[in-house]
Amino acid sequence: MGLWMMEFPDRHPPEGWLKSLAAGRHVTVLSGAGLSADSGVRTFRDPQDGLWAEYRPEQLATPGAFAAAPTTVWQWYQWRRRAIGAAQPHAGYHALARLAGSLGWQLITQNVDGLHQRAGMTVLEFHGSIWKEHCQRCETPNPEAPTTAEEPPRCSCGGLFRPSVVWFGETLDAQVLQSAAAAMACDTLLLIGTSAQVYPAAALAGEARSRGATVLEMNPEVTPAQVDSRWCSSALEGLPTLAKALLG
């Protein structure tokens, strides 16, 4: 595995990217909040607005917070749903959909917003989906999700439904972890808009490299990820450029 670590603050893929992505029989993509940010979806690190300005997301996205103040947590997620629902997949999403569909790339996302699916992609949701709900007591999915009420609805068992996202302090679904780990047996791993700070997702790049994969990163900011080549580009600009170069 050759190391061609460079930073390219321009609109052209670094040398070696096209060859690696075109020749790879198995390419896996891991996307993060930076991809959604280009559609106007706030990341957890962005300051909150209005009523929610006094809270940190870490105060709301925990099992303990939901147990102590379920209505407050539920209403915050309803606020987030409305904001996400108003966003649209940008050109980078549609370019990624073309690339994945034409070249058979496997997609994993840390995002819970569903924008990949709205752009026509099939993706493994590493941290769940804000548009799904399940009972916090018996874990039964809510067939009526997403619920628009401002109070968390109750399951037939008496428990409250909650968003089906992975909260701080929770473990990931074992099947999701297994599928993500299997996807690291790839020729090339492409990181898009990830912070490389949220575990266990941040460990996937190291897992891929340990298996011999070339790890590429597209991000306008330098991250702690150990990669072979970094392209300092947003997904909004970089992905359409990549699709044009690879697919014409």
Q: Give the residue numbers marked as catalytic.
A: 127
Pairing of strands 128-135, 161-165: antiparallel
Q: What whole-number distance in Å separates Cα of residue 131 and Cα of residue 163?
A: 7
Identity (one letter) of the amino acid at 202? A
Q: What whole-number distance in Å separates Cα of residue 117 and Cα of residue 120?
A: 5
Q: Which of 16, 4, 41 is nearest to 235 (CA)?
A: 41
CA diameter of the chain: 58
Q: What whole-number distance in Å separates Cα of residue 154 and Cα of residue 106?
A: 36
What's the Rg (C-alpha) of the chain? Answer: 19
Tokens of 245: 């170069």
